C-alpha cells in the first residue's frame, strides 16, 4: 500500500507518517521545504523519540519525499492508495489545487481504484473543508467520478508533538507516547485500510469535540494562564497547583457539555481529563507556552477550543466561570513575533474588549458572557 502525506514537519513525521510506516505503508512526504525534502529522499529514514513513562527511539524506514509544488507529487497521487495531510488548517486551501490536479490526471490515466483522503488537522471536519476546496479546482466533468471513487474521510487526531531538540539531526522528532487517530468509517470508499493506531467510528463528532473540548481547551487554558504568571512551558504551568486546578475546572465545564450532548460516561470522562493533565506534565516534553498560545485569533474562533465549549455551556445552562477566565487570559496574551497576537492587541487598544470579542468570537457585545469576560480582563491585567 502506498500513501502520499502532505506535510513533512514534526507532526507529519512523528505522528501520521510514523503510524503509516509502522503499518508497512510506503510513505511519500510532500513538502515545500527543499532541504527537508532532499534529506528525507536521501536518507529514506528518520528517528522518532517516543516519550512517556519511559523513553525509546524508533526508526521510521522506507519513506521518501517530493516537493509538493512539483509534478512529482501529482505523479504520486495518480498511483497512490491513500492521501493524508498534516499541514495546518490554513494550508489546506493551498494544497487543494494540487490534489485536484492529481485526481484529474489519475482519472485520465484510467486509474479507477478507490482513493481515500484524510486531513489530519486541528480543525472540525477538516477533510470536508478540503473536499469543498478540491472541488473548486476540479473540473465539473470529474465530479461524478470523484463522488464514486474518492473518499474524503474526516478525522480527529491527538498527539503532542513539540519542537524537536535534536540540533544535530534535523529529521529526528520527539512525540509523546499517547496518540489517537479516529476516522469516520462511513466516508471511506472501498476497503478501509488496516492501520494500527487508526480507529474507526460512526459518531466522529463526539470524538472531535471530546478532543477539542478537553485536550485543546486544557492546553490553551494552561498556556494563557501560565503566560499570566510568567511560566515558560506547559509543564511548568501545569505543575503550578493553582493553574492545574483552574485548567481541570475548565475541562470539567467543557466536559459537562460533552456528557449532555453525547452521553459520555461521567466517570470515564473525568478519568480522561486526569489523563490529559498527566500528559501536560510529561517531564520529557518541553512544550513552550508561546508555541501553544500563538495565533490567539484563530483559537478564539466560534468553532474553536474556547468559544465553542462556552457556547455549549450557554446552550445547556451549565457553569462556565473558568472558561470565561481563560478567554480573558487569551485577550491579555502578548507575543511580538505572532501577527495574530499583535492584531488582537491593536484591536483591544483601538476598540475595547467587548467590540473586539464580538468581532473575533461572535459573542454579542451586550451578552452577559461578554460583560463577564470584560470584567475578568480588567481584573487580570
3-state secondary structure the chain: CEEEEECCCHHHHHHHHHHHHHCCCEEEEEECCHHHHHHHHHHCEEEEEEECCCEEEEEEECEEEEECCCHHHHHHHHHCCEEEECCCHHHHHHHHHHHHHHHHHHHHCCCCCCEEEEECCCCCCHHHHHHHHHHHHCCHHHHHHHHHHEEEECEEEECCCCCCCCCCCCCCEEEECCCEEEEEHHHCCCCCCCCCCEEEECCHHHHHHHHHHHHHHHHHHHHHHHHHCCCCEHHHHHCCHHHHHHHHHHHHHHHHHHHHHHCCCHHHHHHHHHHHHHHHCCCCCCCEHHHHHCCHHHHCCCCCCCHHHHHHHHHHCCCCHHHHHHHHHHHHCCCCCCHHHHHHHHHHHHHCHHHHHHHHHCCCCCCHHHHHHHHHHHHHC
Whether 163 shows a pLDDT value over 80: the answer reads no
Interior angle at CA 361, CA 253 and CA 276, nearest 5: 35
Give the per-residue pLDDT at 165.
66
pLDDT, averaged across the chain: 96
Q: How many CB atoms lie within 10 A of CB 39?
A: 17
Longest Cα–Cα distance of the chain, Å, equals: 65
Average pLDDT over residues 65-69: 97
Share of the chain above pLDDT 70, in %: 99
**Per-residue model confidence as pLDDT tens digits over 138-154:** 999 999 999 999 999 99
Q: Which of 82, 108, 80, 85 is nearest to 95 (CA)?
A: 85
**What is the rounded average pLDDT of the residues 22-32?**
97
Q: What is the pLDDT of residues 302-319, one digit of tens each?
A: 999 999 999 999 999 999
* pLDDT surpasses 70 at 167: no
274: left (phi over 0), alpha (psi -120 to 50) or beta: alpha
Query: How far is Cα 224 from Cα 238, in angstroms, rounded to an integer?
Result: 11
| Whole-structure pTM value | 0.86
Q: What are phi and psi of 105, to 5 degrees?
A: -70, -30
Q: What is the pLDDT of residues 234-261, one digit of tens each?
A: 999 999 999 999 999 999 999 999 999 9
Task: Note the pLDDT tens digit of each residue in 191-234.
Answer: 999 999 999 999 999 999 999 999 999 999 999 999 999 999 99
Cα dihedral 280, 285, 290, 291 sign: negative
pLDDT at 285: 86
- Look up residue 334 and give its three cell numbers: 502578548
pLDDT tens-digit map of 330-357: 999 999 999 999 999 999 999 999 999 9
Amino acid at each position: 500500500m502506498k500513501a502520499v502525506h502532505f506535510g513533512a514537519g514534526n507532526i507529519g513525521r512523528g505522528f501520521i507518517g510514523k503510524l503509516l510506516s509502522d503499518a508497512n505503508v510506503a510513505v511519500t512526504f510532500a513538502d515545500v521545504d527543499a532541504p527537508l525534502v532532499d534529506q528525507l529522499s536521501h536518507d529514506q529514514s528518520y528517528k522518532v523519540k517516543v516519550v512517556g513513562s519511559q523513553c525509546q527511539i524508533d526508526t521510521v524506514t522506507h519513506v521518501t519525499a517530493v516537493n509538493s509544488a512539483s509534478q512529482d507529487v501529482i505523479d504520486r497521487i495518480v498511483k497512490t492508495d491513500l492521501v493524508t495531510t498534516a499541514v495546518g488548517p490554513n494550508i489546506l486551501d493551498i494544497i487543494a489545487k494540487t490534489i485536484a490536479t492529481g485526481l484529474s490526471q489519475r482519472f485520465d490515466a484510467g486509474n479507477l481504484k478507490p482513493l481515500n483522503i484524510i486531513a489530519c488537522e486541528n480543525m472540525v471536519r477538516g477533510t470536508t473543508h478540503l473536499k469543498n476546496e478540491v472541488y473548486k479546482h476540479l473540473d465539473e466533468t470529474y465530479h461524478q467520478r470523484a463522488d464514486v471513487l474518492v473518499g474524503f474521510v474526516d478525522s480527529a487526531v491527538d498527539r503532542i508533538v513539540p519542537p524537536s531538540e535534536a540540533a544535530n539531526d534535523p529529521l529526528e522528532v520527539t512525540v509523546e507516547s499517547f496518540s489517537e487517530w479516529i476516522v469516520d468509517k462511513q466516508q471511506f470508499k472501498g476497503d478501509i485500510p488496516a492501520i494500527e493506531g487508526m480507529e474507526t467510528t460512526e459518531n466522529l463528532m463526539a470524538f472531535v469535540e471530546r478532543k477539542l473540548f478537553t485536550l485543546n481547551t486544557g492546553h490553551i487554558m494552561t498556556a494563557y494562564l501560565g503566560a499570566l504568571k510568567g511560566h515558560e512551558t506547559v509543564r511548568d504551568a501545569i505543575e503550578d497547583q493553582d493553574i492545574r486546578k483552574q485548567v481541570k475546572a475548565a475541562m470539567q465545564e467543557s466536559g459537562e457539555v460533552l456528557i449532555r450532548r453525547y452521553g459520555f460516561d461521567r466517570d470515564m470522562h473525568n478519568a480522561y481529563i486526569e489523563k490529559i493533565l498527566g500528559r501536560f506534565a510529561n517531564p520529557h516534553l518541553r512544550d513552550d507556552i508561546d508555541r501553544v498560545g500563538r495565533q490567539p485569533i484563530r483559537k478564539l474562533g466560534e468553532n474553536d477550543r474556547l468559544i465553542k465549549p462556552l457556547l455549549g455551556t450557554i446552550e445547556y445552562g451549565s457553569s462556565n466561570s473558568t472558561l470565561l477566565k481563560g478567554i480573558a487570559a487569551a485577550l491579555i496574551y502578548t507575543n511580538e513575533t505572532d501577527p495574530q497576537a499583535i492584531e488582537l492587541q491593536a484591536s483591544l487598544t483601538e476598540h475595547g474588549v467587548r467590540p473586539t470579542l464580538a468581532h473575533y468570537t461572535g459573542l454579542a457585545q451586550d451578552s452577559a458572557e461578554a460583560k463577564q469576560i470584560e470584567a475578568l480582563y480588567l481584573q487580570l491585567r
